[in-house]
Structure 1
Amino acid sequence: MKTYLVGGAVRDALMARASDAPAAVSHADRDWVVVGATPEAMAAEGFLPVGRDFPVFLHPKTKEEYALARTERKTAPGYHGFAFHTEAGVTLEDDLARRDLTINAMAVAAEHADDPARAPLIDPHQGQRDLRERVLRHVTGAFAEDPVRILRLARFAARFPDFSVAPETLALMREMVANGEVDHLVAERVWQELARGLMEQRPSRMLEVLRDCGALQRLLPEVDRLWGVPQRAEYHPEVDTGVHLMMVLDMSARLAAPLTVRFACLCHDLGKGTTPADVLPRHIGHEERSARLLKGVCERLRVPTDCRELADVVAREHGNIHRSGDFSAGAVERLLERCDALRKPARFHEVLLACECDARGRLGLEEEPYPPRERLALALSASRSVDTAVVAARAQADGLSGQRVGERIHRARVTAVSQALGASAPEATGD
């Protein structure tokens, strides 16, 4: 029985050494393969079985996962159609041959795991060469058997934006798409890889790679159709809506936005892809169309509730938030109410961050300030400072009830917003 450290931990250690950066790899990032063992032998050593599809075990002390070396055979389309073989005769080279990319198909013996960058490297597929040359390349033709690998490669492109995709790998991915493999992907895996890619260093690279191979059109046609759609140059110097989307996503990464915000950025302009050609480059009413299309995306991919709800607010209201500097206090208060900001202030601050990404994700405007974010945050603080119980009690003392009490509270909040923004007291009806 022999144990090896494989995959990402080895890759990252080699990259860190090449750049003279510290190689900090946590236990959670380490991937272990055991050669020459059986499930019975692992159990006898105190390992706890946890794998369902193939034997995976938890180390009795570190609780890290150890997998038996395995091969696999595709038995059906999509991600789940595989039969796994983990006999004791399966070699480390057999196991590495089934991995996705050459840079993930390297290993070192367990005794060298503390310093994998200086250990004797097992590299049968020239992964170290591809690291030096900054290339994402598939290991063998087995790559084509698992459509999730298209998503994984796109995610790695977002993580390592200076890496190119090998021409033969891109050709293989296009062939997989043409053969319908991506059509069999389950929603959970698509969302999982999409979410991870959105959180990488340059999310736009993920979309770029998925577009290049044709997978974006199959998985997210609502996003794919944005390329080639023009916008008014005075507001969008980059003009192309797809280019704008990529700039917005990269701005969300630059501003260290959470996943909820990055997903909202991805979907904020979906409606522009359905604007009638005869009204272009204007996009009147695209916000409502974006919200309708977003609903379909979220249902299809089973997007988590927090991401779905934030994206809906951003899709509907980002235009109003951009223009809110011209709003009266009454209009600002109604905007806050539509966004449910009074009940969910933390979410509203994420809405404002997504809108800042949208505003600054434009050619030549990347360094521009975004005043609506600070202004609306101030307005929200003022609105929430109103003691509604006191206002309601006074209204009831004046003989008001029901809706009239609510109107009195609304006016008190408008007044607070007006004072906070330094504006004159607005009319009750406002804009």
Structure 2
Amino acid sequence: MRIYKVGGAVRDRLLGKPVTDIDWVVVGATTEEMLAKGFRPVGADFPVFLHPKSGEEYALARTERKSGRGYGGFTFHASPEVTLEEDLIRRDLTINAMAEDDQQNLTDPYHGQRDLEARLLRHVSPAFAEDPLRVLRVARFAARYAALGFTVAPETLELMRQLSESGELEALTPERSWKEISRALMEDQPQVFVEVLRACGALKVLMPEVDALFGVPQPPAHHPEIDTGTHTLSVLQQAALHKQPLTVRWACLLHDLGKGLTPEEEWPRHIAHEFKGLKLIKAVNERFKVPRDCQELALLVGEYHTHGHRALELKPSTLLELLQSFDIYRRPQRFEEFIAACEMDARGRKGLEERSYPQADYLRGAATAARSVAVQPLLEKGFKGPELGEAIKRERLKALKAYKEAAST
């Protein structure tokens, strides 16, 4: 029995990055031997065991063979005869196909270290094209390591293009796709994830609504970058720079989908794109079974982001409707995330990345003014039921009028 550290832990140590998760592969062992040493079995598909003390995962060396469509369409074979090299060749990228023993002696049969130095994301073998999930994984790694200068090798991008055209991407489950998408959005350069998917044709398959934004112009006076797709990537980049949570990043990616529906004869204007985009945002949310908090914020940002930008001009009644739509009294955090998404949208414009966004503090102040209305005095006046609701609304409107007057002086 020989035990090796494999994959990301080896890669990140060689890159000088912090190692968080460690994967181990065991060569020359049987399931019975692992159980005898106190390892606990997990997973039904292939032999993976939890270490009796550390709880880390140890997998028996295995080979795999394509047996069906999609991510799960594989037959695995694990036995003491499977070599380390045979286990490593089934991995996606050369930089993930290295192993080291307890003395840090490197086993690198597919030249992962060379590709690390060349800053290349290259597939290990033609079997790469058997797993459609790898298209998303490579795009995610491109986003993670873009700051270090990594790019996708041309021949790997070509395989990704073939996978995108094969229909295999449609076989991915929503859960697997969302796991990769959400992880990629939380990388330091999530816009690179979208760029790579677009470069290999996968964006058109997975999110045609986002792909349709590229080549669609916007008014240069408001959008010096002009192209809507370019703007979307810039907004996503700003969200990452400002360490926004996943909810905000997802909303930033989808906020302008309605502009992809504007007829060419109406370009570069996009009248009512906020409302037109809602059905597209819903479709993307449903396609990937997106968590509810991300779904809700994306829809609200899509519908109201231009309200956010015009906050200083809004009538008190419109401002109150906006606050009510977000249920700021019970869900203040969601309104804060809306403000953040609006600010990222404003900053995601060429040359305007550092411009101040006074609308943010104005909206926060408006929310505070509306929340400051006390309900108890109205109850003491005898209001109840629908009348109480109307009375609260009148008082909040009065508070917002006073707030707007004070802010304008």
Distance 2:161 2:384 in 1: 65
Q: CA deviation at 1:306?
A: 0.8
The one-letter code sitting in structure 2 at the alignment partner of 1:416 is A
Match of 1:6 in 2: 6
Counting aligned pairs with the same residue, the percent is 55
Residue 291 in structure 1 maps to residue 278 in structure 2: yes
Distance 2:394 2:263 in 1: 40
Identify the match of residue 138 of structure 1 among 119, 123, 134.
123
Match of 1:97 in 2: 89
Q: CA deviation at 1:338?
A: 1.7
Q: CA deviation at 1:372?
A: 1.2
Q: CA deviation at 1:164?
A: 1.1
Instruction: Describe the shift of the 1:71–1:166 C-alpha distance in structure 2 as closer, same or farther (beyond 3 A).
Output: same
Match of 1:404 in 2: 387
Residue 151 in structure 1 maps to residue 136 in structure 2: yes
Distance 1:53 1:353 in 2: 43
Residue 192 in structure 1 maps to residue 179 in structure 2: yes
Do the aligned residues in 2 keep the contact of 1:147 with 1:182 (CA within 8 Å)?
Answer: yes
Residue 37 in structure 1 maps to residue 22 in structure 2: no
TM-score by length of 2: 0.96
Q: CA deviation at 1:33?
A: 0.5
Q: CA deviation at 1:401?
A: 4.9
Residue 305 in structure 1 maps to residue 299 in structure 2: no
Distance 2:187 2:402 in 1: 42
Residue 338 in structure 1 maps to residue 330 in structure 2: no
Match of 2:62 in 1: 70
Do the aligned residues in 1 keep the contact of 2:220 with 2:226 (CA within 8 Å)?
Answer: yes
* Deviation readout 1:247-272 (Å, 9 max, x if unpaired): 00000100101111111111101111
Identify the match of residue 25 of structure 1 among 19, 34, 57.
19
The one-letter code sitting in structure 2 at the alignment partner of 1:379 is A
Distance 2:285 2:18 in 1: 36
The one-letter code sitting in structure 1 at the alignment partner of 2:107 is I
Unaligned ranges ≥5, structure 2:
none
Match of 2:106 in 1: 121
Distance 2:273 2:398 in 1: 32
Residue 416 in structure 1 maps to residue 405 in structure 2: no
Do the aligned residues in 1 keep the contact of 2:307 with 2:314 (CA within 8 Å)?
Answer: no
Identify the match of residue 377 of structure 1 among 364, 369, 379.
364
Distance 1:264 1:392 in 2: 39
Do the aligned residues in 1 keep the contact of 2:326 with 2:334 (CA within 8 Å)?
Answer: no
**Matched length:** 406
Residue 328 in structure 1 maps to residue 322 in structure 2: no
Do the aligned residues in 1 keep the contact of 2:94 with 2:122 (CA within 8 Å)?
Answer: yes
What SS does structure 2 have at the residue aligned with 1:335? helix
Q: CA deviation at 1:120?
A: 2.1
The one-letter code sitting in structure 1 at the alignment partner of 2:9 is A
Do the aligned residues in 2 keep the contact of 1:324 with 1:372 (CA within 8 Å)?
Answer: yes
Do the aligned residues in 2 keep the contact of 1:378 with 1:421 (CA within 8 Å)?
Answer: no
Identify the match of residue 47 of structure 1 among 21, 26, 39.
39
Distance 2:274 2:344 in 1: 16
Distance 1:329 1:222 in 2: 34
Q: CA deviation at 1:422?
A: 4.5
Do the aligned residues in 2 keep the contact of 1:275 with 1:286 (CA within 8 Å)?
Answer: yes
Distance 1:46 1:120 in 2: 27
What SS does structure 2 have at the residue aligned with 1:12? helix
* Deviation readout 1:365-411 (Å, 9 max, x if unpaired): 101111111111111122112212322332x2xxx554332222112
Q: CA deviation at 1:421?
A: 4.5
* Deviation readout 1:177-214 (Å, 9 max, x if unpaired): 22222121111111110111100111111111111111
The one-letter code sitting in structure 2 at the alignment partner of 1:120 is N
Do the aligned residues in 1 keep the contact of 2:326 with 2:335 (CA within 8 Å)?
Answer: yes
The one-letter code sitting in structure 1 at the alignment partner of 2:127 is A
Do the aligned residues in 1 keep the contact of 2:25 with 2:58 (CA within 8 Å)?
Answer: yes
Distance 1:4 1:404 in 2: 71
* Deviation readout 1:108-148 (Å, 9 max, x if unpaired): 01x23xxxxxx321111111111111111000011001000
Unaligned ranges ≥5, structure 1:
17-22, 113-118, 426-431
Do the aligned residues in 1 keep the contact of 2:97 with 2:112 (CA within 8 Å)?
Answer: yes
Match of 2:79 in 1: 87
Distance 1:312 1:121 in 2: 49
Q: CA deviation at 1:332?
A: 1.6
TM-score by length of 1: 0.92
What SS does structure 2 have at the residue aligned with 1:423? helix
Do the aligned residues in 2 keep the contact of 1:252 with 1:357 (CA within 8 Å)?
Answer: yes
The one-letter code sitting in structure 2 at the alignment partner of 1:232 is P
Match of 1:428 in 2: none
Match of 1:366 in 2: 353
Do the aligned residues in 1 keep the contact of 2:297 with 2:338 (CA within 8 Å)?
Answer: yes
